[in-house]
Amino acid sequence: MPLPSPKAIRLDELAARVGATLEGDGATPIDRVATLENAGPGAIAFLANPKYRAQLASTHASAVIVAPGAAADTPLPKLVVPNPYATYAKVAALLNPAAAPIPGVHASAVIAPTARVAADAVIGPNATVGAGARIGARAVIGPGCVIGDDAEVGDDVMLVANVVLYPRCVIGARSLVHAGAVLGADGFGMAEEGGRWLKIPQLGRVLIGADVEIGANTTIDRGAIDDTVIGDDVKIDNQVQIGHNCVIGAHTAIAGCVGIAGSTRIGRNVKIGGAAGVAGHLDIADGTIISGATQVFDPITTPGVYTATFPALPHARWRKIASHTRHLDEFVDRLRALERAAKNNEKGGGGR
C-alpha cells in the first residue's frame, strides 16, 4: 500500500472537523478526495447521486462519505452525514488548503496616492488601483486587475486576475471574483430619437455583497440611476450577463451563460440553470427554480420549478413538429368552428 502523503489527515479527525458520524477505523489516513470510480488507497470518495450507488461495492477508496440510508451498503470506513455532497466540499477544502498570500505591492502595480490599501493586502503585477479606492485587509488584487476611482474591495476578497471593478462599485467581504469578470460597466441604456440612438448616462453602481462568487468573464452592469445589487452568498457561474438595475437576492445560484435583462428582481434562494434567459422588468419569487435554457418572459410569483425547453429530436422530426407548430392558430380556429357547429346542431335537435 502506498505511504500516505505528508498532508494526510486521520479519518476520525476529519469526522470531528466536519461534524460527521464516524463508522469504522478512525485511524485510516486520508490525503485526497476522489470519485467512487477512480478512487485509490488514501482517497475518500462520496455518494451524493443515488444512480452511482452500485459503485460503493467496487470502489478502491480508503473511506467514503455517505448518507445514513447508504451506510450499510459498504464495509469501508465511512463518514455518515445527511448531506454527503456538502461534507465532501468541506473535506476537500481541509485537504487542499489555499496557500496564504504574501502581503505587498508588486513593483509594476500602479497605486493612486489617495488610494487606501491595507498593509496586509496583496497587489499583483500590473494591477491598477484608482484614486480614492479602498482595499480591505488581506484582500488579493491579482495580476492585471483594475480598481476604479472610489471603488471598494472588502476584507479577504480575492480578485484572481484581469478583473475590472469600475469606479464607485463595491465588493463585500470574502467574495471571490474569477479572471476576466467586469463589474460596473455601463448598462445598455439607449433612447431612440430620429432614427438614432442617444446614450443614457449610467449613474448607479454595482454593489456586491459578502461571500459572493463570480465566475470568469461574467459581466454585471452598473445601474442607470439606482444601483445593481448582488446579495450575500450569491454564486454566479462563468459568462453570465446581469443587466443594469437588477437585484439578485441572497443565496441565489446562477449557472453559466445565463442572461438577465435590466431591472429584473430575482428573489432569495433562486436557482437558475445554464443558458436560461430572463427578460427585463420582472419579479422572480424566492425559492424559484428555473431549468436550463428556459426563457422567462413573465413574472414568477409562485415558487416552483419552471421549464420551457423542448427536448432534442432528430432533425427531420424537429422540422416536422416545427411546421405543425406554425399552424397552431389555424388548428385552433378550425377546432372552434367545429365546436360552434356542434353546439348549433345540438340546439337544432341534431336531426333532419
Do domains 9-95 and 104-306 share one topology? The answer is: no
Predicted confidence at residue 2, as pLDDT, reads 44
Give 295's strand partners. Answer: 277
The pTM score is: 0.91
Point out the residues of the chain with pLDDT beneath 50: 1-5, 352
Helix extents (H) in the chain: 11-18, 84-95, 315-326, 328-347
What's the grid cell of residue 91?
Answer: 473535506
- What is the Cα 100 distance to its own chain's centre? 25
Predicted confidence at residue 265, as pLDDT, reads 98
Residue 105 main-chain phi, psi, to 5 deg: -115, 125
Secondary structure class of 90 (helix, strand, coil): helix
What's the grid cell of residue 236?
Answer: 454566479
Is the domain 9-95 a CATH 3.60.15.10 member?
no
Predicted confidence at residue 58, as pLDDT, reads 95
B/e letters for 96-135, b = 16+ CB within 10 Å, e = fewer, are eeeeeeebebeeebebeeebebeeebbbbebbbbbebbbb
From the candidates 60, 106, 178, 244, give the one annotated as an active-site residue.
244
Annotation: CATH topology of 104-306: UDP N-Acetylglucosamine Acyltransferase; domain 1 (2.160.10)
Domain spans of the chain, in order of start: 9-95, 104-306, 315-347
Predicted confidence at residue 6, as pLDDT, reads 53
244 given a catalytic annotation? yes
Predicted confidence at residue 52, as pLDDT, reads 94
DSSP string over 23-40: ES-TT-EE-EE--TTT--
Predicted confidence at residue 3, as pLDDT, reads 44
B/e letters for 180-216, b = 16+ CB within 10 Å, e = fewer, are bbbbbbebbbeeeeeeeeeeeebebbbbbbbbbbbbb
Give 114's strand partners. Answer: none
301 touches 283 (CB < 8 A):
yes
